[in-house]
Amino acid sequence: MAEASIIGSVLGFFIVVVSYKGFKDTYFFEQYLFDVDKILIEGEYKRMVTSGFLHGGLWHLIFNLIALLSFSGEVEFLLGPFQYIVIYFGSLVGGNLLALYLHRNHGDYRAVGASGAVSGIVFSFVVMSPNSSISFIFLPIEITSWVFALLFVAVSVIGIKFQRDNIGHEAHLGGAIIGVLITIGLKFSVLRDHPWVVAAILIPSILFLGLIVRNPAILMVEKYWGETVDNIKLGIKKKPDRISPEEELDVLLEKIRKNGLKSLSDKERKRLDELSNYRR
């Protein structure tokens, strides 16, 4: 294994200092966290970076630091300090951009953490050393890095789809994708030497994100994955008196699939929430 990363250690130091300040100073924490409304409405784009130096708690901070320092040495050794910085901050911003896009209509969405950047560093290591072993400090097991990567993508997709926890799966997946792409750009031999692992990471990730872009309703209804709704006509001004909740939901989903989420009126969005609960 390579020696400890100088750049990674410096970044880790600043992450600890800024996170500690955030733990103690609520106003400071609020000024620099990831906040959809503050970014999109007030143009506070600095939050796309500053939020990556804040953490929600001690264990959140510790876990990210361990992951960062565990992989930074190898990535910096294989690519160089400047390239490492490009991957780190590119993945941080890329992960937050994906979170911003997916939550662009959720003005109250807020997040903190270096997870997007860390994911980029981890996946940079994976595509360069797919057959290396990854161990977990809290578990006495090892796993091949490419297997870890596939499990990570699967968990991220499920997490984004169902939104049942407080983990920023969007930033994780976005950071991982950008980390892979930048690594390929900096070291193209990765694509030649390990095309299968690059494809295994990027193809399912991009297909899933493409599905969401094409049909945002996928993120709004738990059991819906974008299936085509047959025999439903859109633009009906007056619904039949005996239309079922399932049929009404299908109408709204088809409208979103064809015209996007913004095509719904406030009344239709409220009704979609009610009908989504009905389907569950």
Q: Is pLDDT at 79 greater than 60 in this prediction?
A: yes
d(CA 57, CA 248): 43
Kindly give the pairing relationship between strand 139-144 and strand 133-136.
antiparallel
Per-residue tokens: 18: 């800024």
pLDDT of residue 176: 97
Q: Is the pLDDT of residue 233 over 80?
A: no
Can you tell me the distance from the alpha carbon of 265 to that of 86, in angstroms, rounded to the nearest whole number?
Answer: 42
Residue 193 has pLDDT above 60, yes or no: yes
Q: Please give the Cα distance from 178 to 173 (Å, whole number).
A: 9
Q: Decide: pTM greater than 0.95.
A: no
Range of weakest confidence among 60-74, 179-193, 257-271: 257-271
Task: Identify the three-state secondary structure at position 10.
Answer: helix
- pLDDT tens-digit series, residues 140-173: 678 999 999 999 999 999 999 988 888 899 999 9
Is a pLDDT exceeding 90 seen at residue 277?
A: no
Query: Residue 228: what pLDDT?
Result: 60
Q: CA-CA distance, 198 to 202, in Å (whole number)?
A: 6
**CATH of segment(s) 6-214:** 1.20.1540.10
Looking at this protein, which amino acid is placed at residue 137? I
Per-residue pLDDT band at 8 (split at 50, 70, 90): very high
Q: What is the mean pLDDT of residues 102-114?
A: 90
pLDDT surpasses 90 at 224: no
The residue ranges of every structural domain in the chain are 6-214, 220-279
29-67: pLDDT as tens digits: 999 999 999 999 999 999 999 999 999 999 999 999 999
pLDDT exceeds 80 at position 234: no
Q: What proportion of the chain, given as a percentage, has pLDDT over 70?
A: 86
Instruction: Decide: 47 and 35 in contact? Cβ < 8 Å.
Output: yes
Tokens describing residue 123: 């996946």
Share of the chain above pLDDT 90, in %: 64
Say which residue, 200 or 258, is predicted with more confidence. Answer: 200
State mean pLDDT over 19-36. Answer: 95
Q: Of the ranges 5-9, 106-110, 257-261, 276-280, which one carries the lowest mean pLDDT score?
A: 276-280
Arithmetic mean of pLDDT, 263-279: 69
